[in-house]
Chains A and B, each alone.
Chain A
Amino acid sequence: MAKEILMPQLGESVTEGTIDRWLVKPGDTVKKYDPLAEVTTDKVNAEVPSSYSGTVKELVVEENVTVAVGDLIAYIDSNDDDRSDKGAESSQTEEQQGQKEELSDAESSMKTRYSPAVLMLANEHNIDLKQVKGTGRANRITKKDVEQFVANKPVSNAEPEQAIENETKPSVQSSPPETSVTAGEKVPVTGVRKAIAQNMVKSVQEIPHAWTMVEVDVTNLVRYRNEVKDAWKEKEGYTLTYMPFFMEAVTQSLQSFPQLNSSWENDHIVYKKDINLSVAIAHDEALYVPVIHGADELSLKGLAKNLQQLSQKTKSKRLESRDMQNGTFTINNTGSFGSVQSVPIINRPQAAILSVESIVKRPVVKDDDSIAIRSMVNLCLSIDHRVLDGLIAGRFLQDVKSRLEGFSKKDLS
């Protein structure tokens, strides 16, 4: 008789897994505990062992599909005895010919009870609800299930998918995928990637971005940092980067220009009292934006230390939610991957974001018309044009610039 193989619980907080690769195909003979598939989750990669000996009957889930813990992934024909109800067995097998999921009465009871929202959506998109998998209680089909089904439906050329966009959803997928290009590998979008995508779309859709850039001569700063970096490393145990210097200058300028340390709240603008610097830190495939709280109360050394700790936490994946909350302005170190110019997307609901580009040596014409080799850096600023205008943004950047250019040696203790 056909036995169900379910997605196992692979770790305490794991709720779903992606079938990376099936290791068996229908018709294969498997022994109990033989691996059936390779699975990836947020936490671990593992193999799903067979719970029975028998013949693989059907693989229900395709490769690269993400399913919830406890979901049916395959059927195995097996004579392993777990219920010795011989009479029911033959008739049950027959029933299963036509029906994929054979569920107990309690479970199936909600399967065909449709909510008004589900019926309306199904009607609107001409969907046969029997084909939709329910993820609600007792397999009830939820509104979200239908929306998802609609979104994943292959695009028919007759009917553009515009209709599924209700006004609250970001229209990420308004253009149909290009079918003329041979599809490469499909990568499921999970957790962090999904969150990043949503935030970015929301920010771009909601905020009218404006952009501006200044170039800054940081020769003095570079010289100074080179002078002290070895001693620093020895004393503090980590490398002194340029970021704390930029953060200090930005924080000071934010105090003079609170308009950039604010947020748009529909019918009013809120100027934030604290200066909490969000710092974009890329790690692996994801971007994290932990926050240095109360940056205006920290010395250069304090900023450096906080940055170092957050960077460590990011790398070891120990960031807590309070590390990520209440940022008021974002500073982004795009220079670390060699960029010399970028147009950053604002970290909603903040009003502005600054990216610090690579420091590069360039010949510069000085005031007395002589030419000198100077260390130059571009600072790029995106602003929420609802909150502030180019004038204030420009003054702010000039203020940051003059602080950095006027940099002189300081006491780092």
Chain B
Amino acid sequence: MMGTMNFLQAINLALKEEMHRDEKVFILGEDVGRRGGVFLATEGLYEEFGDRVLDTPLTESAIAGVGIGAAMYGMRPVAEMQFADFMLPAVNQIVSEAAKIRYRSNNDFHVPMTIRAPYGGGVHGALYHSQSLEAMFNSIPGLKVVIPSSPYDAKGLLKAAIRDEDPVLFFEHKRAYRLLKGDVPEEDYVIPIGKANVVREGDDVTVITYGLCTHYAQQAAAALEKEDISTHVLDLRTVYPMDREAIVEAAKKTGKVLLVTDDNKEGSVLSEVAAIIAEECLFDLDSPIQRLAAPDVPAMPYASPLEKYYMVTKDKVESAIRDLAQF
């Protein structure tokens, strides 16, 4: 069976199926219960699973902390941070505890916890509701950071995250929630964490990206086909740890690499991708590695024209690919 659904529905379906599959799976977060979450990702789950869906106080450090404790005792918590921006008070729990307990306890304890969080701009969220925080967690061994780019991937990757034996941060682009639609099988499938995915084959320019930008890259690549520019698109799927092999293979394919993120440019996860390429395949490069990202300003503007200027769009990706193709 297969149904067309949006990104949000795919998340909801994955949660529901996992709760049916394993009674150790439970959800905790702000307004996730009767309210169904601010974006309605957990809609209907409280009605179906009752107190396996816990409303918490507005204390992100506690959401993470409770999750970590429960996970160490064998439960499989799925914590929701209402916005990625609000994760900052929980960073100590996530980085110093969740990510390190397996190492610290010499494998006596581990934390099979998933933390879901909506990230990214483009929905007039302004300062406190638009940030991309993945780079902050991209140098924390012990943690995995997963960012899906389609409804199909969202379901398969979320299931993999919930079944993972260690903590996984699962970032969902909030503009993708209702924008992206696609076929999602109603049966059980899992997409492996740590593997990137070639979403389009091409031989002029390689685009390496993740999350919602994958969608823009695919749109741009389709438009450029008319100009005889053939674009190779690699979706990282997991941004930490990175699939080095797939990155190198994609870069070698064309020798011209464009990296796209909607995070701020400096120090983004793309910088690591660029470093991998520089380390592994300098002699296969035919152009300087290019980055397309948000400007290095402190926050997402609220004003529409400024927000639009700040965001990565299909048109920006398209002209960046064209520029590289002509180099």
Interface residue ranges, A against B (CB under 8 Å): 15, 115-120, 136-137, 140, 142-144, 168-169, 267-268, 270-273, 321
On whether the beta carbons of B183 and A115 are closer than 8 Å, the reply is no
Q: Do A142 and B284 touch (CB < 8 A)?
A: no
A117 and B4 contact, CB distance less than 8 A: no
Interchain CB contact (< 8 A) of A117 among B191, B204, B226, B286: B286
The reply to whether B287 and A115 contact each other, CB–CB distance below 8 Å, is: yes
CA–CA, A168 to B250, complex, Å? Answer: 10
Assuming A268-B189, A273-B183, is B283 touching A117 (CB within 8 A)?
Answer: yes
Q: Name the residue on B nearest A258 (C-beta).
A: B2
The answer to whether B253 touches A168 (Cβ under 8 A) is: yes
Most buried by B among A115, A119, A120: A115
A118 CB contacts on chain B under 8 angstroms: 286
Does B203 contact A136, Cβ atoms closer than 8 Å? Answer: no
Q: List 23 A-B contacts (CB under 8 A).
A: A15-B227, A15-B228, A115-B286, A115-B287, A116-B285, A116-B286, A117-B283, A118-B286, A120-B283, A120-B284, A137-B327, A143-B255, A143-B256, A144-B204, A169-B203, A267-B191, A271-B2, A272-B2, A272-B183, A273-B2, A273-B3, A321-B225, A321-B226
- Chain A residues with CB under 8 A of B3: 273
Of all chain A residues, the one with the shortest Cβ separation from B152 is: A270
User: Given contacts A15-B228, A115-B255, A117-B285, could you give 15 more A-B pairs where the C-beta distance is less than 8 Å?
Assistant: A115-B285, A115-B286, A115-B287, A116-B285, A116-B286, A117-B284, A117-B286, A140-B327, A142-B327, A143-B286, A144-B203, A144-B204, A144-B286, A268-B189, A273-B4
CA distance A271 to B3 in the complex (A): 10
Is B282 on the interface with A (CB-CB < 8 A)?
Answer: yes
Please give the distance in Å from A392's CB to the nearest CB on chain B.
Answer: 18
- Docked complex Cα distance between A15 and B227 (Å): 9
Residue of A117, A119, A267, A273 with most chain B CB atoms under a 10 A cut-off: A117
Chain A residue numbers with a CB within 8 Å of B222 are 321
Residue in B closest to A119 when the chains form the complex, CB atoms: B283
Query: Which A residue sits closest to B287, measured CB to CB?
Result: A115
Query: For residue A116, which residues in chain B have a CB less than 8 angstroms away from its CB?
Result: 282-286
Cα separation A342 to B2 with both chains bound (whole Å): 33
Q: Give bound CA distance, A252 to B240, whole Å.
A: 46
> What chain B residues lie within 8 Å of A271 (beta carbons)?
2, 185
| A-contact bits for B191-205, CB 8 A (1 contact / 0 none) | 100000000000110
Taking the closest CB of chain B, its distance from the CB of A165, in whole angstroms, is 13
| Closest CB in chain A relative to B139 CB, distance in Å | 28
B105 within 8 A of A: no
Cβ of B107 within 8 Å of any chain A Cβ, yes or no, is no
Chain B residue numbers with a CB within 8 Å of A143 are 254-256, 286
Q: Which residue of A lies closest to B4 (CB)?
A: A273
Asked whether A142 and B286 contact (CB < 8 A) given A168-B253, A268-B189, A272-B183, the answer is: yes
Instruction: Please state if B327 and A168 are interface contacts (CB–CB under 8 Å).
Output: no
Does B326 touch A at the CB level, under 8 Å? yes
Instruction: Please give, as numbers and ranges, the residues of chain A lying within 8 Å of B326 by CB-CB distance.
Output: 136-137
Q: Which residues of B contact A137 (CB under 8 A)?
A: 326-327
The smallest C-beta distance from B1 to any residue of chain A, in angstroms, reads: 8
Q: How far is the CA of A115 from the CA of B281 in the complex (A)?
A: 12
> How does the 8 Å CB contact mask read for B273-288 relative to A, with 1 for contact and 0 for none?
0000000001111110
Q: Mark B249-260 against chain A: 1 for CB-CB distance below 8 A, else 0.
A: 000011110000
- Report chain A residues within 8 Å CB of B4: 273
Chain A to chain B: the 4 pairs with minimum beta-carbon distance, closest first: A143-B286, A117-B286, A117-B255, A116-B283
Residue of A nearest to B326 (CB): A137
Expressed in whole angstroms, the Cα–Cα distance for A267 and B282 within the complex equals: 30
A144 vs B222: C-alpha distance when bound (angstroms): 21
In the complex, what distance in Å separates the CA atom of A119 from the CA atom of B285? 10
Inside 8 A of A272's CB, which chain B residues have their CB? 2, 183
- Distance of A348 from chain B, by nearest CB (Å): 10
Q: How far is A271 from B222 in the complex, measured between Cα atoms in Å?
A: 23
Taking CB as reference atom, which chain B residue is nearest A123? B283
* Chain A residue with Cβ nearest B204: A144
A271 to B286, CA, bound (A): 39
Of all chain B residues, the one with the shortest Cβ separation from A15 is B228
What does the 1/0 interface line of B179-191 toward A look like (CB < 8 Å)? 0000101000101
A116-B283, A116-B285, A136-B326 given; A168·B203 CB < 8 A: yes
With the chains together, A142 CA to B226 CA distance in Å? 21
Closest residue of chain B to A273 (Cβ to Cβ) is B2
How far, in angstroms, from A169 to B230 measured CA to CA in the complex?
13
- In the complex, what residue of chain A is closest to B183 when comparing beta carbons? A273
Could you tell me the distance in whole angstroms from the C-beta of B222 to the nearest C-beta in chain A?
8
**Please, which residue of chain A has its CB at the minimum distance from the CB of B228?**
A15
* Chain B hits for A273, CB < 8 A: 2-4, 183
Q: Once the chains are docked, how many angstroms separate the CA of A321 from the CA of B219?
A: 13
Q: How far is the CA of A119 from the CA of B282 in the complex (A)?
A: 12
A136 cross-chain contacts in B, Cβ below 8 A: 326-327
B282 to chain A, nearest CB (A): 6
- Give the shortest distance, in Å, between B9 (CB) and chain A (any CB): 15
Query: Separation in Å of the B175 CB from the closest CB of chain A?
Result: 24
Q: How far, in whole Å, are A271 and B185 apart by their CA atoms in the complex?
A: 8
Distance, CA A268 to CA B226, complexed state (A): 30
How far apart sit A119 and B4, CA to CA, in the bound complex (Å)? 48
Shortest beta-carbon distance, A280 to chain B, in Å?
Answer: 20
Chain A residues near B203: list those with CB within 8 A: 144, 168-169
Contacts of B283 in A (CB 8 A): 116-117, 119-120
* Chain B residues, Cβ within 8 Å of A15: 227-228
Complex CA–CA separation, A272 to B182 (angstroms) = 11
* Distance A270 CA – B227 CA, assembled complex (angstroms): 30
Q: Whole-angstrom distance from the CB of B264 to the nearest CB of chain A?
A: 28
Nearest CB in chain B to that of A142: its residue: B286
Cβ contacts under 8 Å, B227 to chain A: 15
